[in-house]
Amino acid sequence: MTSAAFGLVLLALIAGVVIATGLPAYIALLLAAMAGAGAGLATGVVTIDLLGALPGRLVNLLENDLLQALPLYLLMGALLSRLGLADAVFRTFSAMAGRSAAAPLVAGVALGALLGPMNGSVGASVLAMSRTVGPWLERAGVGASAREASIAVAGTLGVVVPPSLVLILLGDALLTAHTIASNATGGTQRIINTQDLMRGALPAAALFVLGLIVVAAVIGRRQTRAVAAMEEPNGRDVATTVAALVVIIGLLGGVAAGRFYAVEAAATGAVVLFCWALVAGRLRNGELGNVASETLVSTGVLFAPLLAATTFTLVLRLLGTDKLVESFFAQLPGGPALVLCIALIALAIAAFALDAFEIIFVVVPILAPPVLMRIPDAVWVGVAMLLVLQTSFLLPPFGAALLLARAHLKTGARLGATVASLAPYLALQLLVLALVLGAPRLVHLLDPVSIASGRQAAPSPEASEKRLREMMGGQSLPGGPALPPPPKLSR
């Protein structure tokens, strides 16, 4: 077995270990990295000098502005969930949805779309929704399986609803991959950026959220159990909801529109919410310590896999696994549709064991460049990746969002009943994915005229050379090009 093929074996072992043992993904990634490095040193493929690039890669990772924004987004989510803001918003949304059996489910979906982009990972989103929406759905009399399904779906909305951190990180990873692919093929097409991916994801995300509201309304009205009357929102709840909508939509919309940097928006939102909590007297009796503790713990839980993923990716590149994958896609027969389908299947399988952030830092840098060498429409590829990741987190029996929702809610519902409640949501998800795959033009509806008409100027040679220097700033591989550091995320 070649060293490059051994890298693929390590990827499969990571998935198997995580699923079979329940170990955290970062432990499996570090164990695989050590195994790969050990094998490389034993065979002479890897040298100690090359492994010395690791500290620099980790430092570059922690210097990324977007990752510095992550704790601030988590702080916003903690403030919203612990200081009663989410409850006020849920009561108001329920009243807006009408006093029907469907109101709690509709309000839960709407709240998930609002809060999802701030929770970072699927795990954090599902936990936040379980704490805030779960008790309300139970008090309203919503069935156990319906609660689990709706919480799982709402917890995945942060993957595709702009400007989530998952989308921002994927956009920057695709920028690097698209630059590599364009220079490898001599292409002159415009290089994708994070803003392009946000515009591309917005139509699909809007279709999905609107469809979810319709599906939740239908499911709610078909409930056989009596639904308890929801608590009426008071004037303070309505005012809080309006203020929260203005702040959240304004800041997150500003990031999506390119008006704010992610760090600035997150810091502004956190300060505004913190000041509101002080004025409202919500930070008494040790509540500030609870909020800070939750934010720090959640940040650590998210950063540990990122550091492990960066370490493992370095080992894969040293083993030559990226070149093996590139050769496979280059020789693959058929057109772009087959290439994209195989790449999406690989992402879907990876999502059974890894979170979205880990996939972006482990799988996408290896998989995306060869795919984009065959498919020039990077926005289409990126949006399809987001939708496949979201779908995979819901697929039974190993979908992360589904498993986490059942673990956090502890309703005791049978898995079969929960899957049956989840089926309409999954059908909608697959329909939106099929629309994107079948009609690539859908992701370009919001493109500027110059880009949509193909008149956007190609990047200048100087710009391409500068980007390549940024990516190829690491140590040199024996007989090969410079080793790229992890993508330097643009603000």
* pLDDT digits 0-9 by tens, 137-151: 888 778 888 889 989
**The pLDDT of residue 161 is above 80:** yes
Model confidence over 308-367: pLDDT tens digits?
A: 888 998 899 899 998 899 888 888 887 888 889 999 999 998 888 788 888 888 889 889
The confidence score (pLDDT) of residue 38 equals 92
- The secondary structure of 37-80, three-state, reads HHHHHHHCCCCHHHHCCHHHHHHHHHCCHHHHHHHHHHHHHHHH
Q: Which residue has the higher pLDDT, 463 or 33?
A: 33
**The predicted structure's pLDDT at residue 451:** 45
Contact 482, 475 (CB under 8 A): yes
Whether pLDDT at 476 is above 70 = no
Residue 483, in any domain of the structure: no
Q: How many domains does the chain have?
A: 1
Cβ atoms of residues 120 and 73 within 8 Å:
yes
Please give the structure tokens belonging to residue 347: 């992402």
Q: 286-304 b/e with 16+ CB inside 10 Å = b? A: eebeebeebbeebbebbbb
Higher pLDDT, 66 or 149: 149
Domain annotation covers residue 476: no
Report residue 180 as tokens.
Answer: 């590599």
CB 188: neighbour CB atoms within 10 A? 10
> For residue 89, is it within any domain?
yes
pLDDT class of 120 with cuts at 50, 70, 90? low
* 3 state DSSP class of 355: coil
CA dist 230 → 100, 114, 218, 277 (Å): 10, 20, 18, 25
DSSP string, 400-467: HHHHHHHHHH-----HHHHHHHHHHHHHHHHHHHHHHHH-GGGGGTTS-HHHHTT-SPPPPHHHHHHH
Positive or negative, the CA dihedral 417, 419, 423, 428 is positive
Largest CA distance in the chain: 71
**Residue range(s) defining the domain that contains residue 306:** 3-471
| Cα 388 to Cα 342: distance, rounded to the nearest angstrom | 12
Gap between the terminal Cα atoms of the chain: 42
What percentage of residues in the chain have a pLDDT greater than 90? 15
User: In the prediction, which pLDDT does 189 show?
Assistant: 75
Residue 446 lies in a domain: yes
pLDDT top residue among 249 and 216 = 216
Please compute the mean of the pLDDT values over residues 228-238 and round it to a whole number.
73
pLDDT value, residue 433 = 94
- The radius of gyration of the chain from alpha carbons, rounded to an integer in Å, stands at 23
Name, in order, each residue with C-beta under 8 angstroms of 141's C-beta and a sequence gap of 6 or more.
Answer: 223, 225, 226, 227, 228
Percent of the chain with pLDDT over 70: 86
Q: 459: Cβ–Cβ under 8 A, 6 or more apart, which residues? A: 190, 191, 467
Say how far apart CA 109 and CA 93 lie, in whole Å: 10
Question: Model confidence over 251-306: pLDDT tens digits?
Answer: 767 766 767 776 787 788 888 888 887 887 777 777 888 888 888 887 887 788 88
Inside any domain, residue 317:
yes
Dihedral of alpha carbons 187, 193, 195, 201, sign: positive
Distance CA 178, CA 377 (A): 9
Partners of residue 482 on adjacent β-strands:
476
**Separation CA 163–CA 180 (nearest Å):** 25
> Facing residues of 476 across strands?
482
Q: What is the pLDDT of residues 193-211, one digit of tens each?
A: 888 888 899 899 999 999 9
- Residue 476 is given by DSSP the state B
Across residues 159-186, what is the average pLDDT? Answer: 84
486 domain residue, yes or no = no
Least reliable range by pLDDT among 105-119, 170-184, 362-376: 105-119
Q: pLDDT category, 382, cuts 50, 70, 90?
A: very high
Q: Look at residue 482 and tell me if it is in a domain.
A: no
pLDDT of residue 437: 92
pLDDT at 489: 45
pTM passes above 0.75? yes
Most confident of 120-129, 218-227, 440-449: 440-449
In a domain, residue 342? The reply is: yes
pLDDT of 423: 93
Q: Which residues contact 422 (CB under 8 A, 6 or more apart)?
A: 148, 149, 152, 153, 394, 396, 402
Average pLDDT, the chain: 80
Least confident of 96-105, 127-136, 157-166, 459-468: 459-468
Q: What mean pLDDT is predicted for residues 217-236?
A: 69
- Coil, strand or helix at 351: coil
